[in-house]
Amino acid sequence: MADPLLSILGVRKLFGGVAAVCDVAMTVAAGEIRGLIGPNGSGKTTLLNLIGGQERPDGGEIRLDGRRISGLPADRIAALGVARTFQVPRVFRSMTVLDNVLVPACADHRRTAWAQARGRAETLLRLTRLDAMGRMEARALSGGQAMLLQMARCLAAEPLVLCLLDEPFAGVHPAIKARMIETIVQINRERGVAFLIVSHEMSVLGQLAPRVSVMHNGAWIAEGPLADVAGNPRVVEAYLGRGGSGPLSPAAPGGV
Amino acid sequence: MRPPVLIACGLGAAALLPLLLGTYPIHVLTVACYYVILASSWNLIAGYTGLFSLAHHAFAGIGAYASALLAVRAGAPVPAAIVCGGLCAGAAGYGLGSVTLRMRALYLALATWAFAESARIVVSMEYGVTRGDLGLAVPLLLPTSSPRPYYELFLVCAAATVAGLALLLRSRIGYRLRAIRDDETVARAAGVDTVRWKRFVFGMSSGIAGLAGALYGHYVGLLSPAAMQFDEMALIIIMVILGGQRTLVGPVIGAVVVEVASEGLRAYGQLRMVVFALLVLAIMRVYPPGLAGLGRALWTRLRHGQPRRRYHRASGPAT
Ligand SMILES: Nc1ncnc2c1ncn2[C@@H]1O[C@H](COP(=O)(O)OP(=O)(O)OP(=O)(O)O)[C@@H](O)[C@H]1O
Ligand SMILES: [Mg+2]
């Protein structure tokens, strides 16, 4: 494998003495699409927060392209090309849908010409089928639409080397979901952007991500192609408790 | 009519008003222009950026005293003193913004209020320097007793402030500020250096307030710590809420309406504040877009026969 784009080296995060993320070590290669799965409360969102700089690790180190990013403010991490969405969609509610996608073009590190940024934002809105709502206030969007808007905003970032998507398909219509998958694959191919995707939808991850990582109780427990990981006894135990059987086959409930 | 034409007509009419009005009404309009500057600059920090500072009146006071003291004690020429007053207030605002960076809504309001009260108390107590409640006589800016040149000056300053804010808000800086207001974490994740821009907006709005305060001091010729009482801040809030926050015209309308009305109702004394306060409560409860929103709704109704865009309430359903 090539040099890792993202290296997470023994990272730990405590909340009131309880470890939400506990000595996780993993790497993501440049241009890779990686799935991140695990039961509820296993620390997936917290791990994304640590990578994106929304939280500071209590131990360990995170590197991007060999450069330490843990401890940097989130806007500096964004300037290095890390963008993200949130599990509960977060949009700039009083701004228009189009303006939401233009905010990344107003980042302090950006020097993009405005007309170019605008054209790009409009393309992204067409891609997410939000173009008809460009002039509406974002607070008027439905939950699924807000999810799409987040995604468009995330992809409007520049430079962009790594997208952190936290359950991007939750509550999204299957047709739109297919379009999102298409978009992710396209951006990944064309621009070599790596994706780290948290999702409970195994069938989608099976389609998108050649490899997935599994977390349980804040710890990294397995990694590999979804089919292999699904048969791993530790993973089975994490999902079903001792004595369970095969929860993660792509055809299992919870998929599409 | 297109907005630029409308604005030009409004300004032209305002500039011609002195031909029709007597000395006292012109004075009232001059003061209204002063409040237009304060209300608009507070709208920048509180309305557009979401930093509910309660120290705006104190920055006007700091600008006024800094300028007056420079002119009185150091013999600085008045225009230079005014500029320095604005810079002092801007620096103080930048400092306060830096200290309160991590504070959220209520804590920010409390901290800025505490700052404002401390500033007022210092000004009253240091009577050796400021002459405290006795009041500080301040040299006038213009060598005239006629209110008209002052009115024209304040009108130009108010128009320049609003125009400057309009440009600022349309720029990338405006996007950053609105993004910070809506969701600071997401703004940061999108690459906006929120620390830098929060400090900037504190310094900028306080600097404008300081300039206005300094200008005002050299117009009325007498300063006292009374101008730094919380009543003044309440008045600014009332103007912005009544006129319509997060619009450019809102604070302009609010400042003129409130200032003119409170002169008209002078006979009722403190009761005026009660009326205004109730009005603000009613507006926040029933129609947050304020007078500016009302005007816009009427305008579209007149032009199109029905409201074009529905107004969305500030609080939406929980996600
Ligand atoms: N800010 C916080 N304060 C206290 N505890 C927290 C905080 N954030 C997360 N936790 C705890 O850390 C653990 C991991 O939470 P996290 O949100 O990372 O899980 P997750 O894997 O994303 O779960 P889900 O699949 O439900 O989204 C949980 O037990 C949670 O209660
Ligand atoms: Mg989560």
Average pLDDT across each block of 10 residues of chain A; the chain has 256 residues. List them in order.
83 91 92 94 94 94 94 95 96 96 94 92 91 93 91 95 94 86 92 95 91 92 88 82 52 41
Q: What does the pLDDT read at residue A31?
A: 93
pLDDT for A252: 44
Residue in A69, A94, A112 to test binding to B, most B beta-carbons within 10 Å? A94
E strand or H helix at A35, and its extent? strand A33-37
Tally the C-alpha atoms within 13 A of residue B64's C-alpha that lie toward its C-beta. Answer: 34
Gap from B318 CA to chain A (nearest CA, Å): 10
**B101, HSE (Cβ side, Cα atoms, 13 Å):** 12
Instruction: Give the pLDDT confidence score for residue B319 in this predicted structure.
Output: 38
Phi, psi dihedral angles at A28 (to 5 degrees):
-125, 130
What's the domain range around B74?
23-228
Hunting for tokens 């205004």 — which residue is that? B276
If you average pLDDT over every residue of chain B, what do you get? 89
Q: What angle do helix axes B23-42 and B147-170 make, rounded to 10 degrees?
A: 20
Residue with tokens 């170019």: A116
- Token pair, residue B311, equals 């107004």
Nearest ligand 1 atom to alpha carbon A87: 27
Q: How many CB atoms lie within 10 A of CB B20?
A: 8
* pLDDT of res. A47: 95
CA distance A208 to chain B (A): 25
The finding on whether A36 has its CB within 6 A of some atom of ligand 1 is: no
What is the predicted pLDDT for the residue at B12? Answer: 83
What are the chain B neighbours of A99 within 8 Å (beta carbons)? 175, 178
From the list B191, B246, B319, the residue facing A108 with the nearest CB is: B191
HSE-CB at B244 with a 13 A cutoff on CA atoms is 16
Does residue B307 lie within any of the structural domains?
no
B114 assigned to some structural domain: yes
Position B257 in a domain: no
Distance of alpha carbon B154 from the chain centroid: 13
B151 lies in a domain? Answer: yes
- Which of A53, A78, A137 lies nearest to residue B190, judging by beta carbons? A78
Total domains in chain B come to: 1
Q: Which residue of B has its CA nearest to A48?
A: B189
Is residue B261, in this structure, part of any structural domain at all?
no
Q: Which residue of A79, A107, A143 is in closest CB contact with B319?
A: A143
Whether A117 has its CB under 8 Å from any CB of chain B: the answer is: no
d(CA B41, CA B43): 5
pLDDT at residue B3, as a whole number: 72
Residue type at position A211: R
Q: Which residue's alpha carbon is nearest to atom 31 within ligand 1?
A: A41
- Residues present in chain A in total: 256
- From chain A, the residues in CB contact with B176 under 8 A are 103, 106
Tens digit of each residue's pLDDT, chain B (319 residues) = 567 788 888 888 888 888 788 888 899 999 999 999 999 999 999 999 999 999 999 999 999 999 999 999 898 899 999 999 999 999 999 999 999 988 888 999 999 999 999 989 898 888 877 888 778 888 888 888 788 899 999 999 999 999 999 999 999 999 999 999 999 999 999 999 999 999 999 999 999 999 999 999 999 999 999 888 898 999 999 999 999 888 999 999 999 999 999 888 888 888 888 888 888 888 888 888 888 888 888 888 888 765 545 554 444 444 3
A6 to chain B, closest Cα gap in Å: 17
Which residues, in sequence order, are bridge partners of residue A213?
A: A36, A223
Within a domain: B57: yes
Instruction: Give the amino acid at A217.
Output: N
Residue B218 lies in a domain: yes
DSSP state of B224: -
Neighbours of A5 (CB within 10 A): 23
In a domain, B317, yes or no: no
Ligand nearest to the CA of A43: 1
